[in-house]
Amino acid sequence: MIWAVLTIIIGTVGLALFGIIFGLFYKGIDRKVSAHMQGRIGPPLVQPFRDVRKLFTKENIVPENAIPWVFHLAPLIGLVATISILLYLPIGSFAPLATGYGDLILVLYLLIIPSLALVIGGFASGSPYATIGAQREMATMIAYEFPLAVIIMTIAWKLSSITAGGLGLENAFAMSTIVANPVWNSVSIVGFIGFIFLLLALIIVTPAELSKIPFDSPEAETEIGGGLLVEYSGRNLGMFYLMDSVKTVVMASLIVALFFPYNISNLFGLEAASIPAYAIDFIFFLIKVLIIIVFSVTLIRVAVARLKIDQIVYTYWVPLTLFALVGLILIMWDGYATTQLNLPTVVDWLGLG
C-alpha span between 103 and 171 (Å, rounded):
9
Phi-psi region of 271 (alpha: psi -120 to 50; beta: other; left: phi over 0): beta
Q: List beta partners, residue 91.
A: 94
Please tell me whether residue 207 adopts helix, strand or coil conformation. Answer: helix
Whether 352 has a pLDDT exceeding 60, the answer reads no
Taking only the tens place, the pLDDT of each residue in 2-41 is 777 787 888 889 999 999 999 999 999 999 999 999 889 9
The confidence score (pLDDT) of residue 166 equals: 46
Residue type, 104: L
118-132 pLDDT per residue, tens: 999 999 988 888 888
- For residues 213 and 255, what is the distance between their CA atoms, to the nearest angstrom? 19
Give pTM, 2 decimals.
Answer: 0.91
Mean pLDDT for the chain overall:
86
Question: In the prediction, which pLDDT does 292 show?
Answer: 95
* Chain centroid to CA 147: 14
pLDDT digits (tens, 9 = 90+) for 204-253: 999 999 888 888 888 877 777 777 888 898 999 999 999 999 999 999 99
pLDDT surpasses 60 at 340: no
Model confidence at 339, pLDDT cuts 50, 70, 90, reads low
Write the pLDDT tens digit of every residue in 246-264. 999 999 999 999 999 888 8
